[in-house]
Amino acid sequence: MSTFVDRYPDEARVVRATLVVSFAALGIGAFFGLIQALHRTGYLRIIDSTDYYTVLTGHGVLLALVFTIFFLLGLFTWAVTRSLERPMPNIRLTWAWFGLSTTGAVFAAVAIVAGLFPSLDMSADVLYTFYAPLQAHPLFYIGLAMFIVGTWIAGADWFLAYRSWRSDNPDERIPLQTFMVLTTMLMWYLSTIGVAVSVVVFLIPWSFGLIETVNPLLTRTLFWYFGHPVVYFWLMPAYLMWYTILPKLAGGRLFSDPLARVVFVLFLLLSTPVGIHHQYLDPGIAEGFKFIAMTNTMFLLLPSLLTAFTVVASMEHGARQRGGEGYLSWLGSLPWRDPAFTGMALAGLMFAAGGFSGMINAGMNINYLVHNTLWVPGHFHLTVGTAVALTMMAGSYWLVPQLTGRRLYSRPIALFQVVLWFIGMVFMSNGMHRAGLLGIPRRTAEPQYQSFDFSATIGSVTELRIQMAIGGTLLFVSVVLFLFNVLLSAIEDPIEMPVDDSLPAPLSGADGSPVVLDNLRLWTAIAIVLVILAYSLPLASIVSDGGLFGESGTFPVFIEAVYWIVGVVV
Amino acid sequence: MKLTRGGVLVLVGISVPIVLELRTFLGFFDIELPLIAVAVLELLFLVGVAVAYDRLNGSRSAGS
Ligand code: HEM
Ligand SMILES: [Cu+2]
């Protein structure tokens, strides 16, 4: 018997390297998260409030972009290699994208952290959304661009691997994991065009002073064109693990391979034409476009519900294989002592809760109530912060042994760690959601204004602050335990078979499903059409209103009045 | 069903915010629950779970 590292030592090395970058970002980002949680609740203030944006930018960029995406890069390389059963076509290319994206991430991180040192003339306090009018040092945008190009090359690497597999296997169905990787990357190519145009054409020249102004609404819209699909770029690696690894850990097999393919195709089609749902409160976009974005968003419920069904059905199948019985008592037969299983299952559970608050965000009118309040971080700490992050950590307990040939240092600590994350997040996200309903804003160091108090009809704001502070602290402890456990696992002695790394075939295989599902060209073409339909009119009207570079003269009326007064006085 | 240490942790972790929110819920009906009542309720709940668990499993596995 052999494991991944024995079969593909070169690939295992790259995957390990991506995980090292990913986990380093997780550690630093979580520390920033703790600082924020304690600072804005007022319990411990080790930074100056003026540095809050720097820390918040570091937190958002390092966790939401670097930790998640580097994990994805590693996971997808693993998935393509093992499901195609062949090494990467050109390992130099693989190292090249790793080097490029790592350099880019380091550039961006340096530009952000430099903001904490006043003596350095560099900062990037632009938050992870980095759109105008906030401006960062050019190094930040350049790093970002390199990072994105790195992911593009990684995608090309996987497509090349697929192509060489295809020439040897002309009539076979695409292996499921590779299918998931390819559809995700097609979505990524389509959606990163927006952010690439924004960064390369507008933000980089602007930060160098080559152009005076940018059209803020245009860069925002280009950002959100990418900003919604990026959430699926976080989520798809988690889905890949829920569909292909979780059923195995539960003791069974995936319920339906064709259904999994349908879900990934739906995400390719539906993720991009919805970004305007982040701009319900942006002036300058007509209500009608916002309404269309809302309807499109509601369609995205479908693949999510299909996933809930398939994954739970697979878990139930696993439990029944292990002797589980009854309507609900089969739940007791699941392997709850296995940290990889328990972590993923708890992550899935919290994702359901996050789905509910997500539906509220998506509703155009209710969104006005929670927009830019702490409700929003409450929501996405359940989705990306738990469904994705916890699945990645839990999955690591199963993946890392395959990549190192060493056993996990401690299963009990791992189990405790995933449960601690769950509990910490129950507290923090509950506090955040409720605080948001009271109107407490997000993204501020000082939510307590002078002579103004937020008040809760029941309970008190203090209770919510306590929940957030306790939750944030537990989460940080959980990350420390995770890193500690993985680090110690990496220096264990190598053993023969550190983990059972086989993946059983699905109950209902790909053979019975329509061949058209594997027609990636067709799905890409439809996805492009949908994007054109959703975005061409709004973009055209934004550009015609505000100018490509924002230099058209339509100021809000009051600014003209100010000019007039200044003119009269001077 | 076996109650593990992890299971107990999850139970405590979820039940605390739920009893806290019970105050919000009752608030809709103009019933104000003091914080101390929440602590007592949580305690009763956990004792209840322990007793029920003991009843269900006591006959089979003594002492574990
Ligand atoms: C140790 C665990 C964590 C703690 C204590 C924590 C805490 C916080 C807090 C308190 C905020 C709100 C700041 C504000 O609006 O003023 C926040 C924002 C945020 N968190 Fe976390 N978080 C943690 C983990 C994560 C994870 C794992 C992710 C994603 C993978 C994440 C992504 C974000 C993002 C994207 C923001 C929004 C940044 C912005 O508004 O620009 N966090 N976090
Ligand atoms: Cu969105």
pLDDT tens digits for A370-388? Answer: 999 999 999 999 999 999 9
- For residue B37, count other CB atoms closer than 10 A to its CB: 14
ipTM metric: 0.71
Mutate which of A43, A51, A63 to test ligand 1's pocket (most atoms within 8 Å of Cβ)? Answer: A63
Residue B59 has pLDDT above 60, yes or no: no
CB A194 within 8 A of CB A228: no
pLDDT at site B63: 43
What are phi and psi for residue A255, nearest 5 degrees?
Answer: -65, -50
Q: Which residue has the tokens 């990787």?
A: A181
Burial of A511 (0-12, 13-18, 19+ CB in 10 A): exposed
Residue A296 has pLDDT above 50, yes or no: yes
Distance A38 CA to ligand 1 centre (A): 12
pLDDT at site A450: 77
pLDDT at site A561: 64
A430/B21 touch (CB, cutoff 8 Å), yes or no? yes
Q: Is A7 a catalytic residue?
A: no
CB A136 within 8 A of CB A89: no
A214-244: pLDDT as tens digits? 999 999 999 999 999 999 999 999 999 999 9
Which residues lie below 8 Å from residue A518, measured CB to CB, with a gap of 6+? A173, A174, A179, A261
Per CB-CB distance under 8 Å, the chain B contacts of A346 are: 10
Distance A276 CA to ligand 2 centre (A): 8
Our answer on whether the CB atom of A233 is closer than 6 Å to any ligand 1 atom is: no
pLDDT band at B1 (very low <50, low <70, confident <90, very high): low
Look at the pTM and tell me if it is higher than 0.95: no
pLDDT band at A1 (very low <50, low <70, confident <90, very high): low
CB A162 within 8 A of CB A84: yes
Q: Which of A328, A330, A423, A434 to mutate to test the interface with B (most CBs of B within 10 A)?
A: A423
Ligand nearest to the CA of A277: 2
- For residue A97, count other CB atoms closer than 10 A to its CB: 22
B17/A420 touch (CB, cutoff 8 Å), yes or no? no
pLDDT band at B58 (very low <50, low <70, confident <90, very high): low
Q: Token digits for B54? A: 């003991």
Our answer on whether the CB atom of A436 is closer than 6 Å to any ligand 1 atom is: no
B-proximal residues of A, 447-486, CB under 8 Å: 457-459, 463, 467
A7 vs A10: CA distance, rounded Å: 9
Ligand nearest to the CA of A380: 1
Which residue, by CA, sits nearest to atom 40 of ligand 1? A443
Q: Report chain B's terminal Cα–Cα distance, integer Å.
A: 13
A498-512: pLDDT as tens digits? 888 888 888 888 887
B5-56: pLDDT as tens digits? 777 888 888 888 888 888 878 888 888 888 888 889 999 999 998 898 888 8
Complete DSSP assignment for A327-380: SSGGGGGS-TT-HHHHHHHHHHHHHHHHHHHHHHHHSHHHHHHHTTBTHHHHHH
| SS3 state at A446 | coil
CB A94 within 8 A of CB A88: yes
Of A245, A312, A256, A314, the residue nearest A513 (C-alpha): A256
pLDDT band at B60 (very low <50, low <70, confident <90, very high): low
CB A314 within 8 A of CB A255: yes
pLDDT band at B62 (very low <50, low <70, confident <90, very high): very low
Q: Token digits for A93? A: 């290319």
Q: Tell me what the mean pLDDT of segment A255-265 comes to.
A: 92
pLDDT band at A332 (very low <50, low <70, confident <90, very high): confident
Distance A231 CA to ligand 1 centre (A): 15
A493 vs A194: CA distance, rounded Å: 47
pLDDT band at B64 (very low <50, low <70, confident <90, very high): very low
Which residue, by CA, sits nearest to atom 34 of ligand 1? A60
Closest-CA residue of chain A to B12: A423
Of A539, A558, A535, the residue nearest A548 (C-alpha): A539
Of A166, A161, A169, the residue nearest A97 (C-alpha): A161
Please give the C-alpha separations between residue A529 and each of A273, A533, A534, in angstroms, as whole numbers. Answer: 10, 6, 9
Range of lowest pLDDT (A227-236, A451-460, A483-492, A539-548): A451-460
A427/B17 touch (CB, cutoff 8 Å), yes or no? yes
Q: Tell me what the mean pLDDT of segment A133-157 comes to.
A: 96
Distance A119 CA to ligand 1 centre (A): 27
Of A413, A371, A401, the residue nearest A495 (C-alpha): A401
A251 vs A528: CA distance, rounded Å: 40
Which residues lie below 8 Å from residue A22, measured CB to CB, with a gap of 6+? A66, A67, A68, A70, A71, A74, A392
Average pLDDT of chain A to the nearest whole number: 92
Rounded to a whole number of angstroms, the CA Rg of chain A reads 24
